[in-house]
Amino acid sequence: MSRVGKKLIPMPKGVKVTVGDQVTVEGPKGKQTVPVPKGITFSEKDGVLQVLRDGDDKAALHGLTRALTANAIQGVSTGFTRELAIFGIGYRCDVKGRIATFTLGYSHPIEFYLPDGVDLKVDKPANNLTPLTLTGSDKQVVGQVAAKMRALRPPDPYKNKGIRYVGEALRKKVGKTGASGAK
């Protein structure tokens, strides 16, 4: 029994949904399409969209289609945000157009090309911390870009340096102690 598929999707003002072989969602932040598998249908009344299925064998696709459609509706109406933070002395990021240039302690700066539909805002650094904010209308693309940025310099558990998500718990490890072995 799909509990996700049974949830109703509220339709915000300014969002237009067209159902056919795929669901097309248009809103103030753009346009997205969601594929509709066979056996899944949509009904709309009183500003609420409902996803229906033909039989119990379509339960997994029922919940998936509902979740993708709800994400598309939220994306074109309000958008999605992912926040990261760069920790470390001398670590920084500059944005010029669609190119973000990271200085992360390597011998060279790293250029990161932002895909269409994703914007990056770099706030003023304070206390060896540089906040980054990614925004876009497609939840999957925003999350993927955030993951690729984090992979440029993953958080180091010994020095707490690197790029991490805001609110990500990082357990700091204790370094080696004792004699160095030289007498």
Same domain (yes/no): 125, 58? no
For residue 144, tell me if it sits in a domain: yes
List the one residue out of 103, 145, 139, 140 whose CA is nearest residue 120. Answer: 145
| Averaged pLDDT of the chain | 91
Please check whether residues 85 and 161 belong to one and the same domain.
Answer: yes
- Using the 8-state DSSP alphabet, how is residue 56 labeled? G
Report pLDDT for 45.
87
What mean pLDDT is predicted for residues 164-172?
A: 89
Strand order of the β-sheet with 118-122 is: 118-122, 129-136, 80-87, 162-165
Query: Is residue 175 domain-resident?
Result: no
Together in a domain, 125 and 154? yes
Residue/partner pairs of 141-144 with CB below 8 Å, 24 or more apart:
141/115, 141/117, 142/80, 142/81, 142/82, 142/118, 143/80, 143/82
pLDDT digits (tens, 9 = 90+) for 150-159: 999 999 999 8
Could you list the residue range(s) of the whole structural domain that residue 104 is in?
80-165
Among candidate residues 77, 110, 130, the one where a domain is terminated:
77
Number of structural domains in the chain? 2
Amino acid at 10: P
Query: Do 73 and 86 fall into the same domain?
Result: no
Choose the final residue of a domain: 42, 77, 112.
Answer: 77
User: Cα separation of 137 and 118, whole Å?
Assistant: 8
Task: Give pLDDT tens digits for 137-149.
Answer: 999 999 999 999 9
One domain for residues 29 and 87: no
Q: Are 143 and 123 in contact (CB under 8 A)?
A: no
Beta bridge partners of 132: 84, 122
pLDDT for position 58: 87
Residues 111 and 73 in one domain: no
CATH number of the domain to which 11 belongs: 3.90.930.12
Question: Of the residues 77, 111, 142, which one is the last residue of a structural domain?
Answer: 77
In a domain, 149, yes or no: yes
**All residues at 6 or more sequence positions from 7 whose CB lies less than 8 Å from its CB, including other chains:** 66, 70
Residue 172 lies in a domain: no
Q: Coil, strand or helix: which one is 172?
A: coil
Same-domain pairing of 68 and 98: no
Please check whether residue 86 is in contact with residue 134, taking contact to mean a CB–CB distance below 8 angstroms.
Answer: no
| Domain-embedded: residue 161 | yes
pLDDT digits (tens, 9 = 90+) for 38-54: 999 999 888 899 999 99
